[in-house]
Amino acid sequence: MSTEPDMDQIRIVLVRPSHPGNIGAAARAMKNMGLKQLVLVAPEAFPSDVATARASGAEDVLINAPICDRLEHAISDCHHVVTTTARNRSLQWDNVDARKAANQVIRQSRQGQVAVVFGPERTGLSNQEIELSHQLVHIPVNDDFSSMNLAAAVMLMCYELRMAFIDEPESYISESEIEKKATSGQVEGFIQHLHEIMAQIGFLTNKPSDRLMGRIRRLYNRSHMSEQDVNIMRGILAGIQSRIKR
């Protein structure tokens, strides 16, 4: 019987990777560290012989990787989403290093699907994409040269995940954590519902709503809503809507 850690609830998401070589190298790094679930969002060139060559032995990870056109779709069933970033965007974020993030990812993965998201080589992720996460992870490298190669960043995160798992194979989950966390898709459904009502009551007239909705999304993601929290909030929104109709 294999003694390999079971980290099947953890997916690695690469958003708009431009170099197929990085996709292959990321798959290889993942398999070395015992992770299998790779999801690609709008890769520039995939499938690709270059990716397959760089995977050298981890082709199964590539073959099984679903391809999505948007990050929202890649994480909609995840209740915990951490995003790696080359820049330290400290202000409104829960910002942690790779080791702390890995510990939490392992704990959260005992309750359902969890995603670790990586951005494109040239630009990193957009603010709208970053707003979908619960936590930002910055690998504290040389401040004067902080951008790592994408596949190297994947390797480092996967190594920390493996170490966190080995340190705490059966980590204890407290009572308060047992309440079922809402998935990214459920929270997004609530935010869309709220947006609809804001439009109905004229709150959004003449104002571009993207920044405001981004702020609201960050606010709710910070609070890590449970399924029940989402149901309560949506119940209130439905009540407001039926009052408006009357």
Count of chain residues binding ligand SAH (CB under 6 A): 20
161 within 8 A of 33, measured Cβ to Cβ: yes
How would you label 212-233 residue by residue, b for 16+ Cβ within 10 Å and e otherwise?
Answer: ebbebbbebbeebbbeebbeeb
List phi, psi (to 5°) of 164. Answer: -65, -40
CB 86 to ligand SAH: min, Å: 4
133 counts as binding ligand SAH under rule CB under 6 A: no
Contact between 148 and ligand SAH per CB under 6 A? yes
Binding of residue 138 to ligand SAH (CB under 6 A): yes
Of the candidate spans 71-79, 137-145, 184-192, 213-221, the one that interacts with ligand SAH by CB under 6 A turns out to be: 137-145
CB atoms within 10 A of CB 135: 20
Residue 118 binds ligand SAH, judged by CB under 6 A = yes
70-89 footprint of ligand SAH as x/- string (CB under 6 A): --------------xxxx--
Strands laid side by side in the 10-15 sheet: 67-68, 37-41, 10-15, 114-118, 80-84, 135-137, 95-96
Q: Are strands 80-84 and 135-137 parallel, antiparallel or unpaired?
A: parallel
Contact by Cβ (8 Å): 23, 43 = yes
Any contact of residue 127 with ligand SAH (CB under 6 A)? no
Coil/strand/helix, residue 44: coil
One of 90, 147, 209, 223 touching ligand SAH (CB under 6 A): 147
Query: By CB under 6 A, is residue 141 in contact with ligand SAH?
Result: yes
Out of 39, 150, 187, 191, point to the residue binding ligand SAH (CB under 6 A): 150
- Residue 42 sits in the site that holds ligand SAH (CB under 6 A): no
Instruction: Please tell me the distance from the alpha carbon of residue 171 to that of residue 162, in angstroms, as a whole number.
Output: 14
C-beta of 121 vs 131, nearer to ligand SAH: 121
From 13, 78, 114, 139, residue interacting with ligand SAH (rule: CB under 6 A): 139
Q: Residue 41's beta-bridge partner residues?
A: 15, 68
Residue 107 or 138 with smaller CB distance to ligand SAH? 138
> Least distance (Å) from ligand SAH to the CB of residue 51?
16
Instruction: Give the nearest distance from C-beta 125 to ligand SAH in angstroms.
Output: 6
Q: Is 119 in the site for ligand SAH (CB under 6 A)?
A: yes
In contact, 114 and 78? CB cutoff 8 Å: yes
Q: Which of helix, strand or coil describes residue 231? A: helix
Distance CA 190, CA 242 (A): 16
Binding span for ligand SAH by CB under 6 A among 30-38, 123-131, 161-169, 203-211: 123-131
What are the tokens at 95?
Answer: 């910002």
Binding site for ligand SAH (CB under 6 A): 84-87, 118-119, 121-125, 137-139, 141, 146-148, 150, 153
